[in-house]
Chain A
C-alpha cells in the first residue's frame, strides 16, 4: 500500500522575505510587551479627573461643610446627630474616593483601606461598649 509521504515545505530560498517574516514575529512580540507595559503604567498616573472636576468636588465638600455648621445652629431634634454623621461619612468617602484616587486605582487598595477601617471601627466600638459608652 502506498502512503503518501508528508510533504515537507521547501525552505524559503529568499533571504529578504525570511528576514521580513522574522521581523514581523519580533514586532508582534514587542507589541505584546508594550501592551503589557501600558497596562502596568495604567496603575500609575494616567487616571483621575481633570482639574476642573477636582474644583467642583472641592466646592461640593465646602457646601457639605457649610451644611454641617448650619445644622449645628438649628434644632433638628433626634435627627441632628445621624444627619451630622451622615455628612461626615459622605465627605470622608468623597475625599478617599476622588482626592486619594481610590476610585481610579487598583481595587486592592480600596479593599485594604476599607477593611482596615471597618476593623478599626469595630474594635473601638467594642472597646467603648466595655466602658458602657452607649448606655
Chain B
C-alpha cells in the first residue's frame, strides 16, 4: 500500500504529461505557452501581423500614387473587371477548399485532407495564372513597371501578393507530400491549420486589393 501511495503522484504526472498540461508539452506533442496557447499558432498570428504592416505599406503607397499615371494608360483604360472578378472568385473558393482541408485534418482523414489541399493549390495556381495574364496584357497596353508611379506601385503591390500566393502554393504541395508520406511530426491537424491561416490571410489581402485597386475608381 505504501508503494502505491508513493507511486501515485508520479503516475498522475506521467498521465498529465501524456495528455497535455499548460506550460508544457501539448496533447499531440506541440509546445504550449504559459497562457495555454499553442506556440506555433501564436507565432503564425504574429507573423500575419507583420504581413499586415507589409501590405499596409504597399496599399498605402498605391493609394497615394494611383493618380500619378503620367502619360501612360489610366486604370479605367486597363482594368478588365469581369476577368478580375472571376480571379477573385477563384481565390475565394480556394479559401473554402482550404478550410475543408483543415476540417478533414481535424477528423484525421488524410485522404480528404490531401484532396482539398491539392484542389486549393490548383485554384491558387489558376489565380496566379490569371495575374500573369493580366500583367502581360497591361504591359502590352503600355503599362511598364517604371513608366509611372502608378505603374510601379500597382505592379509592386499585386506582384508581392502574387509572390505570396505562389509561396502558399508551394507550401500546400509540400504539405500534400508530407501528409502522404506521414512525415509531419507533432500535431498534423495543427500544421494544416497553420498553412490554412497563411492561405486565408493571402485571400484577405486580395479582398482588400480587389476593392481598393480595381473597384474604387481612381
Point out residues on A near B: beta carbons under 8 Å: 15, 18-19, 22-23, 25-26, 29-30, 33-34, 36-37, 39-41, 43-46, 48, 50-51, 54-55, 57-58, 61-62, 65-66, 68-69, 71-72, 81, 84-85, 87-88, 91-92, 95-96, 98-101, 105-106, 108-109, 112-113, 116-117, 120-121, 123-124, 127-128, 131, 133
Contacts and interface: CB of A to CB of B under 8 A. Distances in A.
Contacts of B196: 99-100
B36 A106 contact: yes
A57 B187 CA distance: 27
Contacts of A133: 63-64
B141 to A, nearest CB: 20
Contacts of A36: 16, 20-22
Interface in B161-183: none
Identify which of A40, A88, A128 gathers the most chain B CB atoms within 10 Å of its CB.
A40
Looking at chain B's contact residues, is the secondary structure mostly helix, strand, loop, or mixed?
A: helix
B16 A33 contact: yes
A62 B92 CA distance: 7
Interface of B: 1, 4-5, 8, 11-12, 15-16, 19-22, 26-28, 30, 32, 35-38, 41-42, 45-46, 48-49, 52-53, 56-57, 59-60, 63-64, 81-82, 85, 88-89, 92-93, 95-96, 98-100, 102-103, 105-106, 187, 189-190, 193, 196-197, 200-201, 203-204, 207-208, 210-212, 215-216
Contacts of A65: 85, 88-89, 92
A84 B215 CA distance: 8
B114 to A, nearest CB: 16
B1 A69 contact: no
A41 B32 CA distance: 11
A116 B22 contact: no
A69 B89 CA distance: 11
Contact of B12 (A29, A101, A117): A29
Nearest to A12: B1
Contacts of A58: 92-93, 95-96
8 contacts: A26-B12, A29-B12, A33-B21, A62-B93, A66-B85, A68-B211, A99-B196, A99-B203
B35 A108 contact: yes
Contacts of A95: 95, 200, 203-204, 207
Contact of A34 (B19, B103, B106): B19
A69 B1 CA distance: 76
A67 to B, nearest CB: 11
